[in-house]
């Protein structure tokens, strides 16, 4: 056996799983299709739940996050009439951390390198062999040479388009999906954030999100049709749209500038069950996708890692398979709760094609209810900061 756990995918979930396993004395090999530079160039979400922060601390990679991250004790939900603050600390006693996924990944790469963990980049044509046997293996091509990695277990952390989920026979899995009829046009700019906390805006001009990476780097989104092309959106058109969606006083004071990254992301909810087939386990986007509205993507992957790393340690170290036998059910329980919250936030904040006037009034009534009900605000806050593992 070449390693104890083969991990397919060198993004944050694969690296975090490798980090936690290696710290417990379980050997891993991480296989990643892209280069390290490409992985670190991906612009992704940046809101970390309390549980994700705790897991990063357990993994020994939280020092820079705690030093450079930005704790947020709340967020705002707005429409054309109201601006409602959800006070996380007051309602739950916890907060979230704004710290970019790219930074989390960089910290994990540095920690893996420091401990001498094996991360192989540039692999192609990955095939998982014998996942339903006691002796699985992963075959791949590296620099034109075909290689075979034998292992005790395989963790599929290779995303929605990876090979891991597709390795599970179609007759053995069930998939659930909702594709939303719009996307998010996102812009990154070297400007001061519009507000010290995130603003989720549901306006007559559509949805917008005002977020940030740090005090001089802002991340903004507006709702656009899926048919739109990035090229059709000049910086000026984007800023005009964003200002129209945000509360007037916020829009008036907002600093604008040239975009340094601009892209359109489609929104979907997706779950594949089960998360285990034999000795293959799905983690993160390989098993589920959430719309970004509730900031659950990376955090949901982290909770998968939490359940799986403990189970694998028990299986490898003591032969106790109770954890891996229960991994799929435990992870899916939390996954579906996060799916519900992300779907709820998406429905509450976005305009849908062909909707009637009733839908807009329901959005306004929901926000009004949040403004008047501490119970409603607490429910939102508990889900936003992250349900317990």
Question: Locate tokens 């799916």: which residue?
Answer: 339
One of 76, 109, 327, 384 is an active-site residue; which one?
A: 384
Residue 89 counted as domain residue: no
Residue 91 counted as domain residue: no
Q: Is 70 exceeded by the pLDDT of residue 45?
A: no
Q: Is 70 exceeded by the pLDDT of residue 32?
A: yes
One of 12, 136, 247, 292 is an active-site residue; which one?
A: 292
* pLDDT tier, 327 (very low <50, low <70, confident <90, very high otherwise): very high
33, 120: one domain: yes
Check which CATH number belongs to the domain holding 229 and give it: 3.30.9.10
Percentage of residues in the chain with pLDDT exceeding 90? 93
224, 357: one domain: yes
21, 63: one domain: yes
Mean pLDDT for all residues in the chain? 96
Q: Would residue 384 show up in a list of annotated catalytic residues for this protein?
A: yes
* pLDDT tier, 152 (very low <50, low <70, confident <90, very high otherwise): very high
One of 220, 296, 327, 350 is an active-site residue; which one?
A: 296
171, 223: one domain: no
Cis omega (within 30 of 0) on the bond before 346?
no
How far, in Å, CA of 163 to CA of 74, rounded?
Answer: 38
pLDDT computed for residue 324 by the predictor = 98
Strands of 62-117 (E only): list them: 70-72, 74-78, 83-87, 96-98
Contact 153, 312 (CB under 8 A): yes
- Neighbour-count burial of 146, counting CB atoms closer than 10 A to its CB (0-12 exposed, 13-18 middle, 19+ buried): exposed
Q: Would residue 292 show up in a list of annotated catalytic residues for this protein?
A: yes
One of 153, 180, 200, 221 is an active-site residue; which one?
A: 200
Residue 58 counted as domain residue: yes
Q: Is 90 exceeded by the pLDDT of residue 215?
A: no
Q: Would residue 195 show up in a list of annotated catalytic residues for this protein?
A: no
* pLDDT tier, 213 (very low <50, low <70, confident <90, very high otherwise): confident
Residue 188 counted as domain residue: yes
Residue 252 counted as domain residue: yes
Q: Is 80 exceeded by the pLDDT of residue 42?
A: no
pLDDT computed for residue 374 by the predictor = 98
64, 190: one domain: no
Stretch 333-362: mean pLDDT, rounded?
95
* pLDDT tier, 43 (very low <50, low <70, confident <90, very high otherwise): low
Q: Give the model confidence (pLDDT) of 226-267 as tens digits.
A: 999 999 999 999 999 999 999 999 999 999 999 999 999 999
One of 72, 195, 288, 350 is an active-site residue; which one?
A: 72
111, 157: one domain: yes
Number of structural domains, the chain? 2
Q: Give the model confidence (pLDDT) of 182-205 as tens digits.
A: 999 999 999 999 999 999 999 999
Q: Is 70 exceeded by the pLDDT of residue 24?
A: yes
Check which CATH number belongs to the domain holding 331 and give it: 3.50.50.60
* pLDDT tier, 124 (very low <50, low <70, confident <90, very high otherwise): very high
Q: Is 70 exceeded by the pLDDT of residue 89?
A: yes
124, 107: one domain: yes
Domain that holds residue 151: 2-72+96-178+268-347
275, 324: one domain: yes
46, 172: one domain: yes
Q: Is 80 exceeded by the pLDDT of residue 130?
A: yes
Residue 11 counted as domain residue: yes
Residue 83 counted as domain residue: no
The count of other CB atoms within 10 Å of the CB of residue 20 is 24
Which residues are CB-contacts of 129 (< 8 A; sequence separation ≥ 6)?
136, 137, 138, 139, 148
Residue 115 counted as domain residue: yes
Provide DSSP, 168-231.
Answer: S-GGG-EEEEEEEEEEEEEEEESS--SSSS-EEEEETTEEEEEEEEETTEEEEEEEEETT--GG
């Amino acid at each position: 056996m070449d390693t104890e756990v083969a991990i397919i995918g060198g993004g944050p979930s694969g690296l975090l799983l490798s980090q936690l396993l290696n710290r417990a004395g379980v050997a891993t090999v991480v296989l990643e299709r892209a280069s390290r530079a490409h992985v670190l160039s991906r612009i992704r979400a940046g809101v970390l739940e309390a549980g994700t922060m705790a897991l990063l601390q357990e993994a020994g990679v939280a020092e820079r996050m705690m030093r450079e991250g930005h704790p947020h004790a709340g967020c705002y939900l707005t429409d054309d009439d109201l601006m409602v603050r959800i006070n996380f600390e007051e309602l739950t006693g916890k907060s979230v951390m704004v710290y970019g996924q790219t930074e989390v990944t960089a910290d994990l790469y540095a920690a893996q390198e420091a401990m001498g963990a094996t991360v192989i980049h540039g692999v192609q044509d990955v095939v998982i062999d014998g996942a339903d046997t006691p002796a699985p293996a992963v075959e791949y091509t590296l620099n034109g040479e075909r290689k075979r990695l034998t292992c005790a277990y395989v963790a599929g952390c290779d995303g929605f388009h990876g090979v891991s989920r597709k390795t599970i026979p179609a007759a053995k899995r069930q998939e659930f999906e909702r594709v939303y009829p719009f996307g998010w046009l996102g812009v990154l700019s070297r400007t001061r954030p519009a507000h010290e906390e995130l603003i989720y805006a549901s306006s007559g001009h559509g949805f917008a999100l005002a977020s940030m990476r740090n005090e001089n780097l802002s991340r903004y989104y507006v709702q656009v049709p899926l048919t739109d092309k990035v090229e059709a959106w000049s910086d000026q058109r984007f800023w005009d749209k964003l200002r129209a969606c945000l509360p007037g006083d916020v829009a008036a004071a907002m600093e604008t500038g040239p975009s340094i990254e601009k892209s359109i992301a489609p929104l979907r909810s997706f779950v594949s069950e089960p998360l285990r087939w034999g000795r293959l386990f799905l983690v993160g986007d390989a098993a589920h996708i959430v719309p970004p509205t509730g900031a659950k993507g990376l955090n949901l992957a982290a909770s998968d890692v939490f359940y799986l790393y403990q189970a694998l340690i028990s299986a490898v170290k003591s032969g106790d398979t109770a954890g891996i036998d229960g991994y799929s059910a435990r992870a899916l329980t939390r996954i579906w709760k996060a799916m519900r919250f992300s779907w709820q936030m998406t429905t509450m904040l976005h305009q849908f094609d062909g909707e009637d006037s009733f839908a807009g009034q329901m959005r306004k009534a929901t926000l009004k209810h949040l403004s008047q009900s501490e119970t409603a605000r607490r429910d939102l806050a508990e889900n936003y900061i992250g349900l317990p593992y």
